[in-house]
Amino acid sequence: MTKGATQGAARRRGRRPGGTDTRAALIDAARAVFIEQGYDGATVRAIAAKAGVDAAMVNHWFGSKEGLFAEAVLKLPFSPHELAERLLDGDVDNLGQRIVRTFLTTWDTTGGGVFTALMRSITSHELAAHVLRDFLIKHVAGQVLKSVGIDHHEFRATLVASQLVGMGMVRYVAQFEPLASTDVETMVAAVAPTIQRYLTGPIS
Amino acid sequence: MTKGATQGAARRRGRRPGGTDTRAALIDAARAVFIEQGYDGATVRAIAAKAGVDAAMVNHWFGSKEGLFAEAVLKLPFSPHELAERLLDGDVDNLGQRIVRTFLTTWDTTGGGVFTALMRSITSHELAAHVLRDFLIKHVAGQVLKSVGIDHHEFRATLVASQLVGMGMVRYVAQFEPLASTDVETMVAAVAPTIQRYLTGPIS
């Protein structure tokens, strides 16, 4: 991912032992190990061993296991840590807006191809859904919701996931019009109140 | 589909010319023709010709082109006409509740397998998404929204689709807990306000 490589450059300064071959090998190994072992079960050591490189290369190229997952499996142009920080930077009452805006600007940039590939992996069981769940719900949404200090974290996180996944399916995969080509701010106005209620509003 | 066959029995009384072979042939032919020609482009005549049976067999077995689509492609246990009628039978202010309850009770009954197959068809381009769009947005959601008499029909319909598709993806395909095993009425309480706002509330 050129974009990931560029934005993540700060983590990869200095000499580049193993070069881009090492990086590509780690991404291939990571996909295999995450799918076999699950997100929590996969270790940096096991991924590095499968790639035939030193475990220090993971931190060198990806910052952390999270960063490697985000880039190898989700192909996100930022780390989940950066994502959580960006979402939490501002008023909690506008969190829904920031989530919808970030989701759409990120996936719109790639034309939705990466999102479609991700959904295809899940529906065809190439990517075990629980790997994605552990990562998204526990490690990203869980973090955000803990900071918000609200009840029913995990149910709220899965409700948020339901609206975001569905928005991506309709916009990028099925491409139902007019939603598929509606501008980002119109989408934010329509969908952010849903996300905000799932995060901090009444849900029962 | 045993369930469809049972519930649709009223449409299929009397002699059964061609028997179940005719029915199966029509379902196979319908899938092929709908995918080739789109929902609006597919004619009852073309489907019957491909199946090698008389066009009257479509009405005999499925009531209409809509009914054939619902059973052959969506594998719904009711016709879209019945669905729209059921949804519109009651107060408009409770339409969101009826939609979420109907969606969940229908797909929960099949264990979500049919929903997963449908999503896999769309993500892998086996089923052209525009076929589904023409059917769902124009012929089902469009009908419902026209009866409600609200503005921005098509955008509202795609917003509703986004939440329903996402709820199905999280509950049946990815099976993210706790949403995947949350009881129907708790889901209705959490999600119906979203659907209701997309249908009749402020979206800008």
Average pLDDT of the residues in A192-197:
97
Global confidence as pTM: 0.79
- Whether A163 sits inside 8 A of B164 (CB atoms) is no
End-of-domain residue from the set A43, A72, A101: A72
Give the domain-ending residue among A72, A94, A114: A72
B117 and B189 share a domain?
Answer: yes
Query: In whole numbers, what is the pLDDT of chain A averaged over residues?
Result: 84
pLDDT of residue A17: 53
d(CA B11, CA A74): 48
Name the domain count of chain A: 2
Residue A160 near residue A133 (C-beta atoms within 8 A): no
What value does the mean pLDDT take over residues A107-126? 82
**A110 and A129 fall within a common domain:** yes
Structure ipTM:
0.79
Is the CB of residue A24 less than 8 Å away from at least one CB of chain B?
A: no
Q: Confirm if B78 and B7 have CB atoms less than 8 A apart.
A: yes
Do A178 and A86 sit in the same domain of this protein? yes
Say yes or no: A68 and A84 in one domain.
no
CA B101 to chain A, closest CA, distance in angstroms equals 15
Task: Write the single-letter amino acid at A18.
Answer: G
Question: Are B16 and B38 in the same domain?
Answer: yes
Neighbouring CB atoms inside 10 A of B3's CB total 15
Name which of A124, A166, A175 is nearest B162 (Cβ-Cβ).
Answer: A166
User: pLDDT value at position A70?
Assistant: 81
For residue A124, what are the domain limits? Answer: 80-200
Torsion sign over Cα A22, A24, A26, A29: negative
CATH number of the domain where residue B156 is located: 1.10.357.10
pLDDT tens, position by position, B32-87: 888 788 788 899 999 999 999 999 999 999 888 888 888 887 777 667 777 888 88
The answer to whether A159 contacts B190, with C-beta atoms less than 8 Å apart, is yes
CB-CB neighbours of A44 under 10 Å: 19
Closest residue, chain A, to B190 (C-alpha): A203
Rounded CA gap, B114 and B27, in Å?
A: 15
Angle ∠(A203,A107,A97) on CA atoms, nearest 5: 40
Record: contact B165-A186, CB cut-off 8 A? no
Rounded CA gap, B122 and B120, in Å? 5
Contact call for B204 and A191, based on CB within 8 A = no
CA diameter of chain B: 55
CA distances B66 to A77, B12, B71, B74, Å, are: 43, 16, 9, 11
Q: Find the CATH number of the domain harbouring B64.
A: 1.10.10.60
Cβ-Cβ contacts under 8 Å, A171 against chain B: 162
In the predicted structure, residue A195 carries a pLDDT above the cut 80 = yes
Helices (H), chain A: 2-7, 19-41, 44-51, 56-62, 65-72, 80-88, 95-109, 113-123, 129-133, 142-148, 153-168, 184-200
Same-domain status, A150 and A102: yes
> Are residue A138 and residue A50 in the same domain, yes or no?
no
204 residues of chain B, pLDDT tens digit each: 344 444 444 444 444 455 778 999 999 999 888 878 878 889 999 999 999 999 999 999 988 888 888 888 777 766 777 788 888 889 999 999 999 999 999 889 888 888 888 888 888 776 677 777 877 777 778 778 888 878 898 899 999 999 999 999 999 999 999 999 999 999 999 999 999 999 999 999
Q: Which of B163, B175, B182 sits opposite A166 (nearest CB)?
A: B163
pLDDT at B18: 59
**End of a domain among A23, A51, A72?**
A72
Per-residue confidence band for A57, with pLDDT thresholds at 50, 70 and 90: very high
